[in-house]
Amino acid sequence: MSNYTFPKGFLWGGAIAANQTEGAYLEGNKGLTIVDLLPTGKKRMDAMLGNISSFTPQEGEFYPAHEAIDFYHRYKEDIALFAEMGFKALRVSIAWSRIFPTGEEEAPNEAGLQFYDDLFDELVRNNIEPVVTLAHFDVPMNLIEKYGSWRSRKLVGLFETYAKTVFARYQDKVKYWMTFNEINMLLHLPFLGAGLAFGEGANKKQIQYQAAHHQLVASALAVKACHEMIPDAKIGCMLAAGTVYPYTCNPEDIFQGMEKDRESYFFIDVQSRGEYPGYAKRFFKDNDISIEMEDEDAAILKEHTVDYIGFSYYSSRATSADPEVNKNVTGGNVFASIRNPYLAASEWGWPIDPKGFRITANQLYDRYQKPLFVVENGLGAVDEVTPEGEINDDYRIDYLKQHIAEMGEAIEDGVEIIGYTSWGPIDIVSASSGEMKKRYGYIYVDRDNEGNGSLTRIKKKSFGWYKNVIKSNGQDL
C-alpha cells in the first residue's frame, strides 16, 4: 500500500491537442493555421523558432498535421477506448480556425461549432469530463500574415470574441477551461507558441514580451467572460513547468536558477496574482523593453485571475553560471538545460526526473496557493510492434508509475491537485519534431513518420496498467 491517497473525484485521464490529433485540416471550412504549414525535419525547427517567414509547401515535404491520426473522423472509436480505460477527463483543444477560419469573420463557422458539439456530447455520454484549451499552438494563419500575430493588439479583441463564442455554445457541456497552452512557449518556440516570426535585426525580446502582454490581457478577458457566462465553470492558465536546478551551491548558480524559474513564473504571476512582478520591471529596464499598455489593462489583469494552475511536466532542467559547464547542453528539450549527471534521459534527451515533479508541484502550490491541474506528463518513446501484434511498453509504465507516485507524495505534502491528464493517451503527432515515432500513448496508432499506415488502433501493455491505476484511484501502480 502506498502512503498517499488521491482525492475522491480526482480527474484521471489524458490530454491531446486539435492540431496534433484531428487531421481533416481543411474540412468543415477550417482555416489554415501555423501548424498546418510546419513540415517535419529541420525546416520545422527553424520555423518554430520564428526564423523563417516563407511557408510555401515544397515538393517532397510532409505535413503531419494535415491528416494527423484522423481523430476528426474517428473520435467515437477513440473515446470508446478512453472510456474503457475509465477516463474521468479528456483534455482537448478547440482549433480557433474551425470556429473562425481567418480569425476575424463576423459570424462563426457552424460546421466547426457542430464538430465540437458532437465531440463534447460523445465525451459526456461516456461520463468523461471535457477539459478544453482555447489555444494550443494554432493561431489562424491569416492573423499572422495580416497583423504579425500576437505582436498586434488587434488579436486581443479577436480572441475575446472567439472565447465568448465557444463559452456561449458549450456552457452546458464544458466546466473546465484553459486559456493558452504552455503560455511560456512564446519565449522558447515563439512561432509555434504565438505565431511570431522575426525579420533580420529585430529586437526579439521586445516583440516577445509585447506579444506576451497581449496574450495575458486576452487571457484575463477570457477569464472574465467565462466567469460571467458560466459561473459554475473553472478556468485556468497553463504553464510548461519543470523546476530549474542550480548546477552547484555557488550563489551565482543559485541566482541563475532563480532567474530561469522566473522566466516561466512571470506569466503565471500575472495570470494568477494579477500584476506584473517587480523582477519583470527590472528585466524590462535592463533589456530595453518597453511594453505598450492601455489604461484599463492593469485593472483587467488584477480583477480576472485564474481559478487553477494547469501545467505540463516532462522534466526538470539544470543551469550553471559557468559558461564552460553550460556548454554541456542536453539534446531535445526546447528549454536550454545542461546535462544533469544524476538523471537518465529519454531517447529524445529529455531528463527523467520523477522527484522533480514533486518539487515542481510543491513550488507552484507554495507560490500560488491555488489548485493545480497536471494536464500533461508522459514519456515519448519509440514502440515496437511484436510479430504477435503486441506493444510491450514497460518503459512507459515505469516512467508513469514513478511520476504518479511522486504526485501522490506531493498530495501528501499538502499540495492540492485536482487531476492528472497524461499526454497523448493515444499516439499523436509530436509537436516539436512532427514525428509519429515519438509516441506517448496507451493506444498505438499504425502510422509512420511519412504518413504511411492503416491508422488502426492497438492497445499497448500500458492500456491495462493505466486502467487499473484509474480503477484503484492511484493506489495500484
Residues 239-258 within binding reach of ligand BGP (CB under 6 A):
240
Report the residue from 438, 439, 457, 460 that binds ligand BGP according to the rule CB under 6 A: 438
Contact 114, 160 (CB under 8 A): no
Report the residue from 40, 208, 346, 430 that binds ligand BGP according to the rule CB under 6 A: 430
Binding mask 304-343 for ligand BGP (x = CB under 6 A): --------x-------------------------------
Shortest-Cβ-distance residue relative to ligand BGP: 432
Amino acid at position 371, single letter? P
Judged by CB under 6 A, which stretch of 140-148, 217-225, 296-304, 427-435 contacts ligand BGP?
427-435
Q: How far is CA 277 from CA 206, 245, 263, 274, in A?
A: 17, 22, 11, 9
Report the residue from 47, 431, 436, 469 that binds ligand BGP according to the rule CB under 6 A: 431
Task: Tell me how far apart the alpha carbons of residues 100 and 145 are, in angstroms, rounded to a whole number.
Answer: 15
Cell of 161: 470574441
- Compute the half-sphere exposure of residue 221: CA atoms within 13 Å on the CB side of its CA: 18
Establish whether 390 is a catalytic residue.
Answer: no
Nearest CB to ligand BGP, comparing residues 6 and 444: 444
162 scored as a contact of ligand BGP (CB under 6 A): no
68 scored as a contact of ligand BGP (CB under 6 A): no
41 Cβ contact partners less than 8 Å away, ≥ 6 residues apart: 61, 434
Report the residue from 161, 171, 328, 432 that binds ligand BGP according to the rule CB under 6 A: 432
State the catalytic residue, choosing from 129, 182, 376, 409: 376
Find the DSSP H helices in 369-436: 394-412
Judged by CB under 6 A, which stretch of 60-68, 108-116, 426-434, 454-462 contacts ligand BGP?
426-434
The span from the first CA to the last CA of the chain, in angstroms, equals 10
102 scored as a contact of ligand BGP (CB under 6 A): no
41 scored as a contact of ligand BGP (CB under 6 A): no
Judged by CB under 6 A, which stretch of 83-91, 109-117, 268-276, 424-432 contacts ligand BGP?
424-432
286 Cβ contact partners less than 8 Å away, ≥ 6 residues apart: none
Q: How far is CA 123 from CA 81, 109, 396, 461, in A?
A: 11, 22, 26, 24
380 scored as a contact of ligand BGP (CB under 6 A): yes
- 138 CB burial (10 A radius; 0-12, 13-18, 19+): buried
Cell of 417: 491537485
What totals of helices (H) and strands (E) does the chain contain, helices first?
17, 12
| Least distance between ligand BGP and beta carbon 218 (Å) | 18
449 scored as a contact of ligand BGP (CB under 6 A): no
Binding mask 170-209 for ligand BGP (x = CB under 6 A): -----------xx---------------------------
What distance separates the 2 farthest-apart alpha carbons in the chain? 65
Nearest CB to ligand BGP, comparing residues 300 and 428: 428
| Least distance between ligand BGP and beta carbon 337 (Å) | 14
Contact 11, 373 (CB under 8 A): yes
264 scored as a contact of ligand BGP (CB under 6 A): no
Contact 477, 469 (CB under 8 A): yes
26 Cβ contact partners less than 8 Å away, ≥ 6 residues apart: 32
Structure letter (DSSP) for residue 442: S
Nearest CB to ligand BGP, comparing residues 65 and 240: 240
| Least distance between ligand BGP and beta carbon 38 (Å) | 12
Residues with catalytic function: 376
- Which residues are at the interface with ligand BGP (CB under 6 A)? 17, 20, 181-182, 240, 312, 376, 380, 423, 430-433, 438
